[in-house]
Amino acid sequence: MRLIDYTLLIDALKDISPSLTFNEPMHQHNTFRIGGVAAITVTPSTLEELSTILTLHKEIAPALPFCVIGKGSNAIFPDEGYDGLVILTTELQNVSYAKPEPDGYVTVSADCGVSLTLLARQCVADNRSLSGLAFAFGIPGTVGGAVVMNAGAYGGEMSDVVYAVDYFDPQSCEVKRVFRHQLNFSYRHSLFSDHPEYVVMTAYLRLKPDDREVIISEMSKNMTSRRLKQPLELPNAGSIFKRPEGTFAGKLIEESGLKGYTVGGAQVSEKHAGFIVNTGGATYKDVCTLISHIRDIVYQDHGIALECEIKLISSEPSNQ
Ligand SMILES: Cc1cc2nc3c(=O)[nH]c(=O)nc-3n(C[C@H](O)[C@H](O)[C@H](O)COP(=O)(O)OP(=O)(O)OC[C@H]3O[C@@H](n4cnc5c(N)ncnc54)[C@H](O)[C@@H]3O)c2cc1C
């Protein structure tokens, strides 16, 4: 990308955001530790700044590819880099708790960049005792990424607790609110899966007070299970594939004898075959080649087409 073609946008962004960087290594912004540089990155510190950045992008350089990234725990970037604008949400950290409603429920509003695990912990801190997020304790993503993916674990998912979302619609450059029934949640899917151009700004969760000891014990049980079963000692991006109907991707992969199968620095985890780990120096290409090999073999052995859960980000128009 020739940055000179985007001077107008860059100048406008410089005026509103001190966080603008060029050629930022994206491997520093995802849990897989993979990816080349992004041409332009910006890390807004308020929702207003995020709105302004998105509006400037739409008005000045709508053809420039852009993507929004939280903790990058479900996304990887190509080795050759991202020829566009990457907006990092991790500085957007506001959380507020409304007064309890007559039925006891509390509405919690969280900016898209809030860590899901920290939010779950906050719900049982400072005299609070709010249930509903124990399932999310240990998911290493942000609230925004979790809403988009309808992240879930241990019998819970975001759709159980999210009752409304504010998002930026680049068509009208407005922040709009949608409610639970409009969010089209299903397994690892939401309204935002169908509209990757929308940007989640704030999520409103309705949480019920419950016994704090019970909530903490559930959180700790879930975390222990993660530590036991998941290869947390090596960089990864969680489950690579969605769960196929009636079975588990990891089970099929293991039955196909692929545990430990390696391409370059990418390996099917020895601990949990549903994960690919970066054993050192894995590239995007290694991961893509390994994913493709796993899909072929599992299809050959079981007749099941595995669907990717992780997002393979690209600035190429065909992949947008
Ligand atoms: C060790 C490990 C364990 C995991 N366990 C689980 C689990 O139990 N359950 C589960 O569901 N997932 C799990 N994950 C995957 C991941 O943590 C979740 O999907 C998480 O919700 C992704 O959040 P993120 O902020 O990292 O999203 P990112 O990886 O940054 O982004 C994911 C996608 O969402 C988009 N996105 C991010 N923020 C926004 C926004 N504000 N607006 C619009 N689009 C946005 C991105 O463009 C991308 O397409 C795990 C991952 C790891 C590494």
Q: Looking at the predicted structure, is the pLDDT value of residue 5 above 80?
A: no
**Which helix (H) or strand (E) element contains residue 110?**
strand 106-111
Give the phi and the psi of residue 169 in degrees, each rounded to 5.
-105, 110
Residue 133 burial (C-beta neighbours within 10 Å; 0-12, 13-18, 19+): buried
Look up residue 135 and give its DSSP letter. Answer: G
Q: Say what the pTM is.
A: 0.95
Alpha helices per DSSP H over 157-211: 191-194
Q: Looking at the predicted structure, is the pLDDT value of residue 294 above 60?
A: yes
Residue 305 and residue 196 share a domain: no
Give the domain-ending residue among 167, 193, 219. 219
pLDDT at 298: 98
> Does residue 225 form part of some domain?
no
> Does residue 251 form part of some domain?
yes
We report the CATH number of the domain holding residue 49 as: 3.30.43.10
User: In whole numbers, what is the pLDDT of the chain averaged over residues?
Assistant: 95
> Does residue 320 form part of some domain?
no
Q: Looking at the predicted structure, is the pLDDT value of residue 1 above 70?
A: no
Cα 88 to chain centroid, rounded: 11
- Residue 225 annotated to the active site: no
For range 145-173, the mean pLDDT: 97
- Residue 206 annotated to the active site: no
Give the domain-ending residue among 219, 247, 274. 219
Contacts of 184 (CB under 8 A, 6+ apart): 190, 191, 194
pLDDT at 6: 84
For range 25-52, the mean pLDDT: 96
> Which pair of structure tokens corresponds to residue 11?
């100048």
Shortest CA distance to 21 belongs to which of 95, 88, 100? 88
AA identity, residue 200: V
**b vs e for 143-171, b when ≥16 Cβ sit within 10 Å of the residue's Cβ?**
bbbbbbbbbbbbebbbbbbbbbbbbbbbe
Q: Looking at the predicted structure, is the pLDDT value of residue 282 above 70?
A: yes
Ligand 1 pocket check: which of 74, 167, 248 to mutate, most ligand atoms within 8 Å of Cβ? 74
d(CA 302, CA 256): 9
Q: How far is the CA of 149 from the centre of ligand 1 (A)?
A: 6
Q: Looking at the predicted structure, is the pLDDT value of residue 317 above 60?
A: no
Least confident of 10-24, 48-62, 95-109, 306-320: 306-320
Give the phi and the psi of residue 162 in degrees, each rounded to 5.
-80, 125
For range 8-21, the mean pLDDT: 92
Give the domain-ending residue among 170, 195, 219. 219
Residue 307 and residue 238 share a domain: yes
Q: Looking at the predicted structure, is the pLDDT value of residue 91 above 50?
A: yes
Q: One of 73, 129, 239, 314 is an active-site residue; which one?
A: 239
Residues with CB under 6 A from ligand 1: 31, 67-75, 89, 112, 139-142, 144-146, 148-149, 151-153, 192, 199-200, 230, 232, 236-238, 311
Q: Looking at the predicted structure, is the pLDDT value of residue 226 above 60?
A: yes
**Neighbour count for residue 128 (Cβ, 10 Å):** 15
pLDDT at 127: 86
> Does residue 179 form part of some domain?
yes
pLDDT at 267: 98
Q: One of 115, 159, 188, 295 is an active-site residue; which one?
A: 188
> Which pair of structure tokens corresponds to residue 72?
């990058």
Q: Looking at the predicted structure, is the pLDDT value of residue 67 above 70?
A: yes
Integer CA distances (angstroms), 99 to 121, 127, 147, 167, in order: 19, 14, 23, 24
For range 284-303, the mean pLDDT: 97
Q: How far is the CA of 260 from the centre of ligand 1 (A)?
A: 24
The residue whose CA has the least distance to atom 9 of ligand 1 is 152
Shortest CA distance to 274 belongs to which of 320, 307, 311, 315? 307
Q: How far is the CA of 101 from the centre of ligand 1 (A)?
A: 30
Q: Looking at the predicted structure, is the pLDDT value of residue 318 above 50?
A: no
**Residue % of the chain over a pLDDT of 90:** 93
Residue 100 and residue 180 share a domain: yes
Residue 249 and residue 173 share a domain: no
Range of the domain at 272: 231-312
| Each residue's pLDDT tens digit, 102-138 | 988 999 999 999 999 999 999 999 889 999 999 999 9
**b vs e for 14-26, b when ≥16 Cβ sit within 10 Å of the residue's Cβ?**
eeebebbeeebeb
- Residue 59 annotated to the active site: no
**pLDDT band at residue 315 using 50, 70 and 90 as cut-offs:** confident
> Does residue 56 form part of some domain?
yes
We report the CATH number of the domain holding residue 116 as: 3.30.465.10
